[in-house]
Chain A
Amino acid sequence: EIVMTQSPATLSVSPGEGATLSCRASQNIASNLVWYLQRPGQPLRRLVFHASSRSADIPARFTGSGSGTEYTLTITSLQSEDFGIYYCQQYKDWPLTFGGGTKVEIK
């Protein structure tokens, strides 16, 4: 199966600052990557799919990029609702697999 590795495990950011999250696949996933945000008590929220396509109602401060095995989610000017755990997931091959997550916390 394809192994997804996210870094860093934890990111401490002040509101208004930017953040860059990384996701690496163990083999080429050809941009078949989705990013999610998990917040306590809320359903998982899809942010980006196809590596760089923003989901409906997702603010422009979220930008997905990357190709091959290396992917990035960039968040500019973090708002209070952006703090939580971010997961990447590949859908190139079955079984689908998630990364271990990056926790973005308030500094």
Chain B
Amino acid sequence: VQLLESGGEWVQPGGSLRLSCGVSGFPFRDTGMTWARQAPGKGLEWVSGISKSGDETYYADSVKGRVTISRDSSKNTLYLEINSLRAEDTGLYYCAKGWKYPDSWGQGTLVIVSS
């Protein structure tokens, strides 16, 4: 199982980003997926989950309305689009295999929101 996040970068407050997570080694179309994040020096925060079909999505209150999770089974890729970025969105963003109790996690991609 491999999960490789990308798309993280420095962005100004109010900006937008789309994070990607390329996966291999398991049947992506049959697996729910998760995004979580970790601010520098802080604990883990669950961000969003999506069902295997993509018809169910859930979000943390802290990002609801600003974040969209999606998936493309033809590309074996999970996405997280974040709008209206705030300083408190700064951190490492992880994708994970499974949508309630994920069993495999990526190494993360770093998002820095700063002017």
Which residues of A have CB within 8 Å of B104? Answer: 43, 46
Interface string of A41-81 (1 = CB under 8 A from B): 00111100110000100000000000000000000000000
Q: Which B residue sits closest to A53, measured CB to CB?
A: B101
Check A89 for interface membership: any CB of B closer than 8 A: yes
Q: Which of B44-75 contact A (CB under 8 A)?
A: 44-46, 49, 58-61
Decide: B46 and A101 in contact? CB cutoff 8 A.
no
Q: Which A residue sits closest to B1, measured CB to CB?
A: A43
Cross-chain pair count, CB within 8 angstroms? 52
Task: Give the interface size bracket for A toward B.
Answer: 20 to 34
Max chain A C-beta neighbours (<10 A), residue from B49, B94, B96, B100: B100
Decide: B101 and A91 in contact? CB cutoff 8 A.
yes
A66–B59 CA distance with the chains assembled, in angstroms: 27
A83–B27 CA distance with the chains assembled, in angstroms: 32
Decide: B58 and A94 in contact? CB cutoff 8 A.
yes
Decide: B107 and A95 in contact? CB cutoff 8 A.
no
A102–B60 CA distance with the chains assembled, in angstroms: 22
Check A96 for interface membership: any CB of B closer than 8 A: yes
The 3 closest A-B pairs by CB, nearest first: A91-B100, A34-B101, A44-B105
- Where the two chains meet, the residues of A that have a C-beta atom closer than 8 Å to any C-beta of B are 1, 32, 34, 36, 38, 43-46, 49-50, 55, 85, 87, 89, 91, 94-101
